[in-house]
A and B are shown apart, each in its own frame.
Chain A
Amino acid sequence: MKRFAIATTAIDPAALREGLRDPGAGGFCAFEGWVRNSNEGREVDGLEYEAYVELAIAEGERIAEEAIARYGVSAAHCVHRTGDLKIGDMAVWVGASAPHRDEAFRACRYIIDEIKHRLPIWKKEHYVTGETSWVACSHTYREHEHEEGGHPHHGHAHHGHAPAAPFMPDYSRQMRLSEVGEAGQARLAAARVLVIGAGGLGSPVIAYLAGAGVGTLGLVDGDRVDASNLHRQTLYDARDIGKPKVELAARRVAAINPSVQVRAFAEPLHAGNVVETFAQFDLVLECTDDMRSRYLSSDGAVLSGTPLVLASVYQYEGQLQVVDPKAGLPCLRCLWPQEPSPEAVGSCVLSGVLGPVPGVLGAMQAMEALKILLDLPRPKNATLALVNLLDNTIQHLGMDTTAGCAAHGGCTHQARAALRRAQDQREMDLSFHSLAEAVAAGFQLVDVREANEIAALPLPGVPSRHVPSGEIAVHAQVLRNEGRYLLICASGRRSAHAVQRLRAEGVENVYSLAGGLAALSLRKAS
């Protein structure tokens, strides 16, 4: 008989109870696990269980058999839910019937403890704040480990499998290093590290930091796995295509080291939350391929005082920089004050890259992270490392800390101004699926393109007024008085600029169509 099952729909305890009836049974005991509304002080409004089903069923079956052998119960059964659950839903049901009550109680307790400890089931909590977090279900206090002798404990050796040993992380190889030891390992366990980007750089970073036993790993990534990622993003495999990277990465962490607590962020950070998010971590690693994210991270590190390890790659080479505001190390803006245009910086998509290049740079980032967390010796001078993997050279270019931001009010001043600009832009830029949607939302449309552009590509079937962006200031008075206005141009650049000018004149009810008409036609195409 199958003694363990995974259920994707609601569990029916009455039917399960009937299944355990036995003429020789004098007692029946059941345990139900329910979804509650908080965990470790955080308000939860639901959760999601995900299981490695084949393995969970095999292991669950083994646990039920162990309980029967160990306590001599007549029958035992367990069902675990997967999928989305709400507060109050039943997540797990365990039942045992036995000649006497004591065995039934003990068997129930044994099964639920072992299930929590051994099954490859992950819990994703949805917090009321909108965040989510993957929690590996492990580290349970197991009553039966503390049972005294005299129970039919010896019996199980004759009944197939001995209970699998619970997973205990073994850090002996790194703790053997005199610079690490127990004190160092405790520092790692207490550390909270944020990894932004779970791609080519993030893959080695996440794997090494999880393996090293960093206590809390925050993971940020809004992308899904694409087949073109697999040559360099070693966290994933062909079955993962189309799935969200952050969830896969969180699961990978739980698989490498279940003792690591994962906090998953499925949306990129932005100017409005980067500082407060960084402040919740001891160290940040920037592993995206996105220049805007790199500047945002640099600004966030400067303003929160959190050290940041930056890396990026181009074809056969990479750059590595540690930003440490408290140690007086320069930021990204000290080198390149303004975010360069996307065309100037290249990307893996446009320029190509060999897989091991982000692998090497990511491993170097992980190494810097461990050195910082363990307070190991590292270069004290401000440098940018240029790693060339064709001729295998690393050049350290020294930075003059009095140049860069220092000559323009300092890193903090520059970062604060940049975040304010990005925040203003964020608030002014609105995205819509169509112009009709904007009209339905109560916006009046203002086309700020030139007359010849409009003639070539008129707005499709929606009312709009035409004010060329160069003349926008003249119309400030009119726009001030009525409704809400959405300014539109081809790319979103001129309309954003026009909105900035109007806002400077005190006109608050104006917004810019993010990405312009180009973004709308892109949406239509996809």
Chain B
Amino acid sequence: MALVNLQYYAQLREQAGTGSEQVLTGAASLRDLYEELRARHGFSLDAASLKVAVNTQFCAWDRLLRDGDTVVFIPPVAGG
């Protein structure tokens, strides 16, 4: 189990109803974590249309989770 800090932007923030939260997760990878959160919050976007960053660095979806990671999911936005 890993305790991770999550930050949400744009549609994800709206759908989660919060900009950040801390979760204890059994998910091994970022992809698993997102699927777990998606089921919980009902996120409309799939992982393929998002970018993920851990500890302020963009990274691949198969990266393994570590205790204390700060994870940010970022959808592209187009408003102007």
Interface residue ranges, A against B (CB under 8 Å): 197, 199-202, 287-291, 294, 311-315, 317-319, 335-336, 340-341, 344-348, 351, 353, 358, 384, 386, 388, 390-391, 395-400, 403
Contacts and interface: CB of A to CB of B under 8 A. Distances in A.
A403 B58 CA distance: 9
A398 B56 contact: yes
A340 to B, nearest CB: 5
Contact of A348 (B9, B60, B72, B80): B80
Contacts of B80: 197, 199-202, 287-290, 311-313, 348, 358
Contacts of A346: 10-11, 77-79
B51 interface: yes
Contacts, number: 107
Interface string B21-65: 000000000000000000000001100010101001111100000
Given A397-B57, A400-B59, A315 B72 contact: no
Given A335-B76, A340-B49, A348-B79, 5 more contacts: A287-B80, A317-B10, A340-B76, A346-B77, A346-B78
A287 B79 CA distance: 9
A397 B53 contact: yes
A314 B77 contact: yes
B67 interface: no
A314 B77 CA distance: 6
A315 B57 contact: no
Contact of A312 (B7, B13, B57, B78): B78
Give me the 5 closest cross-chain CB pairs, A-B, nearest first.
A289-B80, A314-B77, A314-B10, A291-B78, A313-B79
B58 A400 contact: yes
A319 B51 CA distance: 13
Contact of B76 (A291, A348, A391, A396): A291
Contacts of A335: 51, 58, 76
Nearest to B80: A289
Nearest to A404: B58
B71 to A, nearest CB: 11
With most chain B CB atoms within 10 A of its CB, the pick from A197, A288, A344 is: A344
Nearest to A286: B80
B60 A403 contact: yes
B72 A397 contact: yes
A289 B56 CA distance: 26
B30 to A, nearest CB: 14
A344 B58 contact: no
Given A315-B14, A344-B45, A395 B76 contact: no
Given A317-B10, A388-B19, A345 B76 contact: yes
10 contacts: A291-B78, A319-B76, A340-B75, A341-B49, A344-B76, A347-B79, A358-B79, A390-B19, A395-B56, A400-B59
Q: Which of B51, B57, B78 has the most CB of A within 10 A?
A: B78
Nearest to A362: B80
A397 B59 CA distance: 10
Contacts of A396: 56
Contacts of B19: 388, 390-391
Contact of A289 (B11, B72, B74, B78): B78
Contacts of B11: 314, 344, 346, 351
B77 A313 contact: yes
Contacts of B44: 344
Contacts of A351: 11, 14, 79
B31 to A, nearest CB: 15
Given A395-B56, A398-B56, A398-B58, A347 B78 contact: yes
A294 B68 CA distance: 35
Nearest to A341: B49
Nearest to B53: A397
A314 B9 contact: yes
Contact of B75 (A200, A344, A391, A398): A344
Contacts of A197: 80
Contacts of B57: 397-398, 400
